[in-house]
Amino acid sequence: MLEATVLERLGIALASITTAILVGLLAVTASGYNPVLFLNNLIVGSIGSERVLARTLRLSTFFVLTGVAVAIAFRAGVFNIGVQGQFIVGGICCTMSILWAAPLLPNGTVGGIVLMLLGTVAAAIGGGLYGALPGVLKAYADANEIITTIMLNFIAIGVVSWLITNPFRAEGATNVRTESLPDNVGLPPIVFGDSGFSVIGLALTLVLVAVVAVVMTRTRSGYDMVTSGYQASAAVYSGVDAKRTIVTTMTFSGAVAGIASALYVIMFQGNFIEPASIHTYGYDAIAVSLLAANNPVGVIPAGLLFGGLNSSGSYIQTYSDVPVQLIDGIVGLVIVFVAAPELFRMAAKRTGLGGDDE
């Protein structure tokens, strides 16, 4: 089977989404619910009001960033299944660095900006180092990175849970969380009011995506990452240290996951909560990256789709008697269809819409 072109991948993604929604509507109908009402709830629950749109964009921002983190590794032939753990480690590093540094800096806008920069750098370092660990194990001990990254997710959850429950727990808090960030730390909403979403956060996300895309496709470092992951022997022959580059790839991926958690803490949460209560952005990011064919730019529409579906799920759960699990089913169907591109190629050839393979 030939590698899909950009247009083919776009067509496959659109066909996958459409087919998944149609199959989902059939399942809704077969379950005795109104498919028209369900489809309406999907739309209203994702873009139906300013508040809902802000929620969709907020979720999409985190899906895009974590999706890019996964795409960096996957595109380089390394399977980073540990983005959730790197997200958690980055988040606690961001939160505590801001809380510890806040008394040393002046109040006001300038102090807040410095604290946010410090927290973001700390998150990137924390996530990057936690991503580097399975990279080192793969490169120098031939450990399977799928197994190590999965297990490191559980380690991150357990250790950070203990930290937040014990030494880092907010004094007098009824729930498990850290102290809240200072009032001068946060991104102004600008458009959407007090919704936990800032257009500035979305803009910074798009800038980061552009930077990652340039690094991965237009620089020697990006070329070395891809070559070392897929063809280590060829990389060595061309003078590249394949083992060190694999570690660099995982560090880069983990650092982006850490930046995602910094935005989560600064823009939305305002503190750090028990990791088990955090949305599974790192796990869902695998599906986001797959839908985008591991293309950093393609992660943007894929992240918007997942943000919309998750926002709709919350809306349906509140305002409808349709089981929210049907949303999860639609997401799963999208991934299944994306993972089977030959089905759509065959359908295109049978209907005369696709060209012949050379």
Torsional class of 142: left (φ above 0), alpha (ψ -120 to 50), beta (otherwise): left
Q: Report d(CA 82, CA 250) in Å as an integer.
A: 10
Is residue 190 within 8 A of residue 121, CB to CB? The reply is: no
> Residue 345 — very low, low, confident or very high, per pLDDT cuts 50/70/90?
low
* DSSP summary character for residue 354: S
Range(s) of the domain holding residue 355: 1-23+327-358
Residue 133 confidence (pLDDT) above 90: yes
Whether residue 177 is found in the same domain as residue 239: yes
Residue 78 confidence (pLDDT) above 70: yes
Tell me, yes or no, whether 56 lies in a domain: no
Tell me, yes or no, whether 319 lies in a domain: no
Please give the residue that has the higher pLDDT: either 172 or 141. 141
**Rounded to whole angstroms, what are the CA distances from 264 to 144, 258, 275?**
30, 10, 13
User: Quick count: other Cβ atoms within 10 Å of Cβ 214?
Assistant: 12
Tell me, yes or no, whether 317 lies in a domain: no
Per the prediction, the chain carries an average pLDDT of: 89
Tell me, yes or no, whether 165 lies in a domain: yes
Whether residue 151 is found in the same domain as residue 252: yes
> Residue 340 — very low, low, confident or very high, per pLDDT cuts 50/70/90?
low
Token output for 190: 């600008």
Residue 2 confidence (pLDDT) above 50: no
Looking at residue 268, what is its pLDDT? Answer: 95
Whether residue 109 is found in the same domain as residue 241: yes
Whether residue 89 is found in the same domain as residue 169: yes
Whether residue 216 is found in the same domain as residue 104: yes
Q: What is the CA radius of gyration of the chain?
A: 21
**Rounded to whole angstroms, what are the CA distances from 331 to 2, 39, 197, 325, 326?**
26, 14, 24, 10, 9
Looking at residue 263, what is its pLDDT? Answer: 98
10 Å CB burial of residue 21 (0-12, 13-18, 19+) is: middle
Looking at residue 334, what is its pLDDT? Answer: 74
Secondary structure class of 41 (helix, strand, coil): helix
State residue 20 phi and psi, 5-degree precision.
-60, -45
Residue 293 makes CB contacts below 8 A (sequence gap 6+) with: 4, 9, 13
- Comparing CA positions, the residue from 54, 181, 184, 44 lying closest to residue 108 is 184
Whether residue 178 is found in the same domain as residue 269: yes
- Tell me the pLDDT tens digit for each residue of 97-119: 999 999 999 999 999 999 999 99
Looking at residue 3, what is its pLDDT? Answer: 53
- State mean pLDDT over 120-131: 98
Three-state helix/strand/coil letters over 241-280: CHHHHHHHHHHHHHHHHHHHHHHHHHHHHCCCECHHHCCC
Domains in the chain, number: 2
Residue 353 confidence (pLDDT) above 70: no
Looking at residue 346, what is its pLDDT? Answer: 60
- Tell me the pLDDT tens digit for each residue of 313-339: 888 888 888 787 877 787 778 777 766
The last residue of one of the domains, among 248, 283, 318, is 283
Whether residue 18 is found in the same domain as residue 120: no
Tell me, yes or no, whether 59 lies in a domain: no
**Rounded to whole angstroms, what are the CA distances from 270 to 97, 126, 176, 235, 264?**
13, 19, 14, 44, 8
Residue 10 confidence (pLDDT) above 80: no
Tell me, yes or no, whether 38 lies in a domain: no
Is residue 53 within 8 A of residue 124, CB to CB? The reply is: no
Whether residue 111 is found in the same domain as residue 260: yes
Token output for 4: 């899909």
Whether residue 138 is found in the same domain as residue 193: yes
Tell me, yes or no, whether 219 lies in a domain: yes
Is residue 184 within 8 A of residue 115, CB to CB? The reply is: yes
Whether residue 16 is found in the same domain as residue 115: no
Is residue 235 within 8 A of residue 126, CB to CB? The reply is: no
- Tell me the pLDDT tens digit for each residue of 167-202: 999 998 888 999 999 999 999 988 887 778 999 999
Whether residue 81 is found in the same domain as residue 159: yes
Whether residue 269 is found in the same domain as residue 350: no
Token output for 296: 């950093």
- Tell me the pLDDT tens digit for each residue of 29-70: 998 888 888 889 889 999 999 999 999 999 999 999 999 999
The last residue of one of the domains, among 255, 283, 311, is 283
**Rounded to whole angstroms, what are the CA distances from 9 to 71, 292, 303, 338?**
15, 8, 16, 9
The last residue of one of the domains, among 283, 318, 338, is 283
Q: Report d(CA 90, CA 126) in Å as an integer.
A: 5
Q: What is the percent of the chain where pLDDT is above 70?
A: 92
Is residue 285 within 8 A of residue 69, CB to CB? The reply is: yes
Tell me, yes or no, whether 193 lies in a domain: yes
- Tell me the pLDDT tens digit for each residue of 212-265: 999 998 998 998 888 876 776 777 777 888 889 999 999 999 999 999 999 999
